[in-house]
């Protein structure tokens, strides 16, 4: 199999035309392509981060393509075959699926697009720009496709990064790490949860972290696109979670990067998280306010303004550049050279978890003396540890995650409840309320305060810090 170095961007049809004007120095190669993707009924190829398709052009020529991997580490094998007929004799495919699985392969979804391509010379490299517009069809449902792809044909991938950064700074191109295969599998699942692909075995620290960063970045990029299109309550919530998961990896395992990296990326992600904050806080308040009261219309109007500001932020160049710089860091960032660099990921990264745990224990032991800001810091540290364990689903850590995650979540939720009233009070004060609306807001804040919140939080934190796992001793 040969390596594939490709970057994909979601955009609008008008941006495709702008790219034609910007980058096409000669007439484009224009094709109509129909690709049928195959998998087993239980999605074994997707679970192994692999895809298999037959793509046919308007002349009837059919190419079979088998891809594995994620991010810029994908590999592919392709060859011409008869229309509608899979060739299952390849060693690469046989290494992923058993003979029994191969016999169960069947069409899962179809992608049909108009593709325009041209070649760009950047630095000393040759890069293909492909513009796809069409749709994915699966299980009676349709999903539009409008995307630009940059693929390194030959040369240095740094030239690919430079070109991608230049185009994203100039045009509304948003990084997308969900392939057509991934999107098609989700559409075929008809809304059912799609389990994450399992983490490959035998990874080094750098390989495991790179994999986790790319997966987390892909989810964040997908949620940015969804929220910018429709900032619903669920979309905003999921975007905040995705950003927090990504930031947690950068925070918990920060000693794995060279000094000073990735400071700009962390700042950009923090700005995106802040942009979500007010919309999410208003959603929480609206869920608790009396829908027939005087406060609800004020909150709804404030939520509309906050959502509009959020969409503007997500659609802007800084957000696009943050996501793109995140991928470049994950794939080619300045990683620290460590004595344990060649060791298994579990042993090489466990020290980072222990350091995080020691800080949580120190704060937890002093819980009765903590002020609101310190309690908030404790909650963020607990949340980051939980998300890091989830993101790095390493075999040796699974017993730890199963035992510790429920207590981490309980402490996180209890501390969050303790913080809700303070956060709501600050938000409502910024709305400059008066009269009956102010009194209703005061009652709402008072209702968020419960006498036993502090006791519940103290007990949850105590249960957590008293359960020191063997890994942390």
Q: 105 or 2: whose pLDDT is higher?
A: 105
Q: What is the pLDDT of residues 222-281, one digit of tens each?
A: 999 999 999 999 999 999 999 999 999 999 998 888 776 788 899 999 999 999 999 999
Q: What is the pLDDT of residues 134-144, one digit of tens each?
A: 999 998 899 99
Instruction: Read off the pLDDT band of 377 (50, 70, 90).
Output: very high
Q: What is the pTM for the complete model shown? A: 0.89
- Report the pLDDT averaged over residues 67-81: 85
Distance separating alpha carbons of residues 39 and 72, to the nearest angstrom: 23
Supply 338's token pair. Answer: 């460590």
Q: What is the pLDDT of residues 180-200, one digit of tens each?
A: 999 999 999 876 666 666 666
Instruction: Read off the pLDDT band of 412 (50, 70, 90).
Output: very high
Flag whether pLDDT at 339 surpasses 50: no
pLDDT, averaged across the chain: 89
Q: 171 or 73: whose pLDDT is higher?
A: 171
- Report the pLDDT averaged over residues 299-324: 95
The rounded Cα 28 to chain-centroid distance in angstroms is 33
Flag whether pLDDT at 404 surpasses 80: yes
Q: What percent of the chain has pLDDT over 70?
A: 94
**pLDDT on residue 372:** 86
**pLDDT on residue 403:** 86
**pLDDT on residue 257:** 82
């Amino acid at each position: 199999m040969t390596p594939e170095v490709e970057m994909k961007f979601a955009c609008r049809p008008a941006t495709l035309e702008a790219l034609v004007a910007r980058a096409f120095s000669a007439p484009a190669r224009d094709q109509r392509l129909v690709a049928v993707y195959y998998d087993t009924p239980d999605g074994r190829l997707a679970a192994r981060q692999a895809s298999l398709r037959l793509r046919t052009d308007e002349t009837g020529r059919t190419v079979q393509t088998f891809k594995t991997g994620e991010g810029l580490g994908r590999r592919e094998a392709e060859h011409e075959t008869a229309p509608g007929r899979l060739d299952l004799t390849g060693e690469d495919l046989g290494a992923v699926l058993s003979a029994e699985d191969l016999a169960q392969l069947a069409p899962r979804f179809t992608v049909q697009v108009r593709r325009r391509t041209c070649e760009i010379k950047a630095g000393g490299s040759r890069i293909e720009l492909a513009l796809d517009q069409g749709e994915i069809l699966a299980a009676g449902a349709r999903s539009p496709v409008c995307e630009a792809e940059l693929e390194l044909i030959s040369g240095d991938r740094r030239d690919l990064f430079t070109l991608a950064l230049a185009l994203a700074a100039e045009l509304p191109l948003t990084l997308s790490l969900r392939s057509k295969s991934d999107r098609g599998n989700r559409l075929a699942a008809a809304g059912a949860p799609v389990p994450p692909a399992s983490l490959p075995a035998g990874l080094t620290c750098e390989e495991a972290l790179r994999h986790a960063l790319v997966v987390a970045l892909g989810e964040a990029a997908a949620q940015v696109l969804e929220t910018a299109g429709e900032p619903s309550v669920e979309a905003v919530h999921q975007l905040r979670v995705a950003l927090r998961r990504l930031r947690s990896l950068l925070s918990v395992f920060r000693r794995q990067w060279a000094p000073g990296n990735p400071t700009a990326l962390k700042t950009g992600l923090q700005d995106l998280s802040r942009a979500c904050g007010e919309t999410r806080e208003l959603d929480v308040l609206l869920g608790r306010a009396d829908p027939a009261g005087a406060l609800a219309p004020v909150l709804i109007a404030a939520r509309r303004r906050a959502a509009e500001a959020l969409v503007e932020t997500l659609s802007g160049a800084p957000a696009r550049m943050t996501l793109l710089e995140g991928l470049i860091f994950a794939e080619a960032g300045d990683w620290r050279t460590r004595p344990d660099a060649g060791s298994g990921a579990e042993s090489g990264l466990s020290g980072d978890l222990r350091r995080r745990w020691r800080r949580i224990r120190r704060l937890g032991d002093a819980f009765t003396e903590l002020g609101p800001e310190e309690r908030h810091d404790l909650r963020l540290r607990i949340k980051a540890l939980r998300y890091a364990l989830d993101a790095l689903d390493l075999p040796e850590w699974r017993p730890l995650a199963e035992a510790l995650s429920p207590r981490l979540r309980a402490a996180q939720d209890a501390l969050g409840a303790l913080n809700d009233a303070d956060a709501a009070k600050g938000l409502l004060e910024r709305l400059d309320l008066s009269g009956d609306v102010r009194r209703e807001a005061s009652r709402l804040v008072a209702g968020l305060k419960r006498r036993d919140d502090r006791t519940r939080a103290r007990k949850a934190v105590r249960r957590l810090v008293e359960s020191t796992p063997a890994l942390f001793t």
